[in-house]
Amino acid sequence: MIRNLKIFSIFNSKGTPAIMVKIQTDNGSYSASIPSGTSKGKHEAKELPVERVLKNFSKIRPRFVGKDERDWRGIDSLLKELDGTENFSKLGENLSLSISIACARAAFENEIWKIHKPRMGMEFPIPIGNVIGGGKHLGGTDWQEFLVIPYGAKSPGEAVEIMVSIWASLGEELRKKKMLIGKNVENAWMTKLDDLKTLDLLSDVSEDWKVKLGIDFASSSLWDGKRYVYKKLGKSLTPSQQVDFITEVAEKYRLYYLEDPIQEDGFRQFMILNHILGKDCIIAGDDLYCTNPERLRKGIKNKATNGIIIKPNQIGTLSLADEVVRIAKERGMIIIPSHRSGETEDDWLADLSLAWDAPLIKSGITGSDMTKLNRLIELWEDIPEVKMAKLPL
């Protein structure tokens, strides 16, 4: 039974306030803290400022005391009911998700990878690591994240080693070329090189490793309502020119993973791109879907993508994110659980990626994000008969 709930104001990796909730049950104390995005989608659930969350918490706290934590889905329904809006704009997704995850932690005594019945031979997700960055995450490039996917790794530990080696070599190369600006919000390198020269360098440096390359274009931040505006490359593209440009880049650099290559409401261009490239490349919708079941259904109907980013704080409770995962998997979509750029040291994303049988997980490769990857390394040792997932395409 839930005996007590507490809330604290903590700080995330960007140094901005975040919250942590702690739930006390008869069995122990269980906490959860929630990350925050920098390049958020406009259809995400609402994150509220910490002071408002603290006030909201004191109003709703009594409703949870005495409840059975094992009914974590019931707790999530209560959160939805107390909020009463479509997008958690009254309570704040940061409040609802922190209670939701802390409660699931209590229900499974910290092992939330068990929310779905564990099977023998569990597959561990291949990490996707951000090595060079730009866009709203700061950096020189227009595109937000240049990504490596170490598909040849035999364990999560080896995957981290490969990603970090590539990241370190890139830093060294950029320094030698005098093209290094520094590190951005996700600890990815910021470079003076333009987006295409960055891809040339990334292709060269990663040549010796068994990795696939990807980009999170975060295209909504290039979109001015009519055109995609590239400051660094000096281009201004219509939606159909953007489709052509992305196709050309994906083919030339043999990209495997394309996240948000089109702005968040461009279902039609997503569909065209998915038609052209979707057999060989993962076309993942992040801002396009915002982990929202209605938007996902629209994407499925239109064959807009073959993959979906899952960020539980875009929707507000674990049960709601779980439902989105269920719908996506039922329709053969590739799910990619993802961190946010303002992370906490909490590692629940790693557990959920296992519970959901995700073939990939998107997480940073240094700083606070190491906690997720370290959790995968820990679970790899703890769970019998494990193997790394295969690339989904």
Q: For ligand PGA, which is the closer residue by CB, 42 or 117?
A: 42
Residue nearest to ligand PGA (CB): 37
Strand ranges, E, within 170-316? 180-183, 189-191, 212-216, 228-230, 235-237, 257-259, 282-285, 307-310
CB of 218 to ligand PGA, least distance (A): 5
List, in order, residues 6 or more apart from 381 with CB less than 8 Å away. none
Instruction: Find where tokens 């052509």 sit.
Output: 244
Q: For ligand PGA, which is the closer residue by CB, 38 or 368?
A: 38
Give the catalytic positions in this structure: 186, 311
CB of 216 to ligand PGA, least distance (A): 5
Q: Choose, by CB under 6 A, the member of 38, 313, 319, 366 that binds ligand PGA.
A: 38
Q: What share of the chain is helix, strand, coil (3-state, %, to 5)?
A: 40, 20, 40
> Does residue 22 belong to the site contacting ligand PGA (CB under 6 A)?
no
**Residue 40 buriedness (CB in 10 A; 0-12 / 13-18 / 19+):** buried
CB of 141 to ligand PGA, least distance (A): 14
> Does residue 353 belong to the site contacting ligand PGA (CB under 6 A)?
no
Binding site for Zn ion (CB under 5 A): 216, 259, 286
Phi, psi of 354 (to 5 degrees): -75, -45
CB of 37 to ligand PGA, least distance (A): 2
Stretch that binds ligand PGA, among 34-42, 45-53, 117-125, 235-243 (CB under 6 A): 34-42
> Does residue 37 belong to the site contacting ligand PGA (CB under 6 A)?
yes
Instruction: Find where tokens 């982990």 sit.
Output: 291
d(CA 130, CA 166): 10
Site string for ligand PGA, 297-336 (x = CB under 6 A): ----------------------------------------
> Does residue 218 belong to the site contacting ligand PGA (CB under 6 A)?
yes
> Does residue 12 belong to the site contacting ligand PGA (CB under 6 A)?
no
Q: Are strands 17-25 and 29-33 parallel, antiparallel or unpaired?
A: antiparallel
> Does residue 40 belong to the site contacting ligand PGA (CB under 6 A)?
yes
Which residue type occupies 166? I
